[in-house]
Homo-oligomer: A and B are copies of this chain.
Amino acid sequence: MSKLASVKVGVLGLGTVGCGTLDVLARNADEISRRAGRSIEVVAAAARDLSKPRAFDCSEISLTDDPYALVADSRIDIVVELIGGTEPARELVLAALANGKHVVTANKALIALHGNEIFAAAHAQGVTVAFEAAVAGGIPVIKTLREGLAGNTVQSLAGIINGTCNYMMTAMKDRAANFDEVLVEAQELGYAEADPSFDIDGVDAAHKLTILAAIAFGVPLQFENIYVEGIRDIALDDVRYAEALGYSIKHLAIAANDSSGVQLRVHPTLIPARHMLANVNGVMNAVLIRGDAVGQMMLSGAGAGAEPTASSVVADLVDVVRALTTDPGNRVPHLAFQPDALSQAPVCPMADVESAYYLRMDARDQPGVLADIARILASHEISIEAIRQQEPAAAAVTVPVVILTQRVREQAMQLAIAEMTALADIHGDIVRYRMETFA
């Protein structure tokens, strides 16, 4: 493995996402080359102000303040465009493509508004433009629609694809706060810009929907045809009335395709409060997809931020590297990693696995039993999270006692269970289930 020369990457833009991408590439260099069969090396980066302090140590990379020099750099195989906006991003991407370089971009406005021109240029050069990070941050929704659901006629999709709006709608509902209060808070937390209109008026969601609809239905990119309403006018009263009726108001991007044509719309929408989509909260994103074969499926996760966006940027880089490197029959290794790069990590015996526990035991209803149990648990350094005596069955001499514990190694729990089972006041076996919070 990795006898091939590394693939050389140049990065346009060293802001949050740029530095996040450099960090992920450096931190996961081993995992990435185990997967891609080659290492990925960032040789150059361009930023407007080179004197600015960065979140990533760029001393190993040649830096330039001339992005046009970077896209012409003959060492570079793949240009990663992370400057955002339409110009000069468009011009730089077209220049990179004209120079025969593949492009990876996180720029939704660029793809939504100039994708047709950019893809035609890439096609003419036989190179790729990859843009997973342009929609829903770290969630691989573009790959899912383009490849994972390629057998379906996609019927509709509905997405929470703007984290700012979702944060604000969640905060209004959970804390009965006004739009204006929540906006100030979102700005303080960095979830909304000083001029928030791009997010809260739905433009950003419409850019992303433009891309998703094209990929789902095989229709052209057509931002101009999207109906858009933002969240600026949503009154707290409506959030409350909707809640009382069993609904949540979410800012959704919706596309559908049926015999009457394609629907493309972004607007606040009431959805049943128990629906999975209604429970995607805060800055999280989610996309619900309905295909004729798969039925309904949903993807959810972080829709923005340096690391989740970098996750998709790097996945695109690996995709390009795999396509360049391997024969078509083995583009992606069967088990994700190159066959000669499997790790022989030891398997942790269950005795060493840590977990919280639920225990249930039948105890004689008399003084001292709980003290005995607590003493045994404490002697194995097991902390009790909750203990609850349940209603006994009629005429039973015992009562069920349920205990939730904090996290502990399984071995300690097994020893404690054996000791508790041996108590004269505990009848029968002790039931135990493991407990996880996935927080």
Binding site for B on A (CB under 8 A): 20, 24-25, 27-28, 31-32, 34-36, 102, 115, 119-120, 122-123, 126-129, 132, 138-140, 143-153, 158, 214-222, 225, 227, 235, 237-238, 241-242, 244-245, 247, 249, 252, 254, 257, 260-265, 267-272, 275-277, 279, 288, 291-302, 307-308, 310-315, 317-319, 323-324, 327-337, 339, 341-348, 350, 352-353, 356, 358, 360, 386, 388, 390, 400, 402, 404, 431, 433-438
Contact = CB atoms under 8 A, between A and B. Distances in A.
Contact of A292 (B27, B140, B214, B331): B27
A33 B324 CA distance: 24
Contacts of A119: 334-335, 339
Nearest to A275: B438
A19 to B, nearest CB: 13
A315 B435 contact: no
Contact of A146 (B299, B332, B341, B438): B332
A296 B301 contact: yes
Given A260-B348, A330-B126, A344-B219, A148 B158 contact: no
Interface residues of A, dominant DSSP: mixed
- For the complex formed by this chain, how many copies does it contain in all? 2
Given A275-B438, A276-B300, 7 more contacts: A31-B218, A35-B218, A147-B315, A149-B315, A262-B348, A288-B438, A292-B307
A153 B432 CA distance: 32
B300 A297 contact: yes
Contacts of A31: 152-153, 218
B436 A252 contact: yes
A218 B342 contact: yes
Contact of A335 (B218, B296, B302, B400): B218
A307 B335 contact: no
Contacts of A330: 123, 126, 128
Nearest to A249: B433
Given A294-B308, A350-B265, A438-B271, A331 B323 contact: yes
A139 to B, nearest CB: 6
B298 A388 contact: no
Contact of A245 (B264, B297, B311, B388): B388
A214 B335 contact: yes
Nearest to A318: B150
A372 to B, nearest CB: 21
